Amino acid sequence: MTGRIVLTSDHTAIALRQAIAAHVMAQGWEVVDIGPTTPESTPYPEHGAAAARMVASGDCRLGVILCGTGQGIMMAANKIRGVRCGVCADTFSARMIRQHNDANMLALGARVVGEGLALDIVDAFLAASFDGGRHAPRVEMIKALEG
């Protein structure tokens, strides 16, 4: 399954984000990399929110966002209505957030996972799809919390 995918990070994760971009482009995804491109310190909340808005609007189907731990950028993304983002450091969790939680964004920590594992996590996330069924009412409950 392919489509448009947005990628962003803070300054700590530029190299890993670029490796992920090349990896998913090779799989046929259209990558929208919204930076940054220089190593100066940059605020992860702004980057996470910008990518999340692109997913929430439907401009991009999915998003992959990175910071040092993945936690802060994930928290920022989840403030945007319509976004369900999880931080993952293993392939099982990446698959489950898609299958059970209908996650549309994945957060990674560049200081937590190496490139090889990060690519495997991204692959697991992208290959999975929402199971629906018994999980659908729970996802609707999450959506209802947005107000």
Neighbours of 57 (CB within 10 A): 10
Q: Is 85 a catalytic residue?
A: no
What's the CA gap between 91 and 76, in Å, rounded? 22
Q: Is 100 a catalytic residue?
A: yes
Residue ranges of alpha helices (H) inside 27-90 are: 44-56, 71-77
Q: Active site residue: 11, 47, 60, 67, which one?
A: 67
What's the CA gap between 51 and 37, in Å, rounded? 15
Catalytic annotation, residues: 67, 100
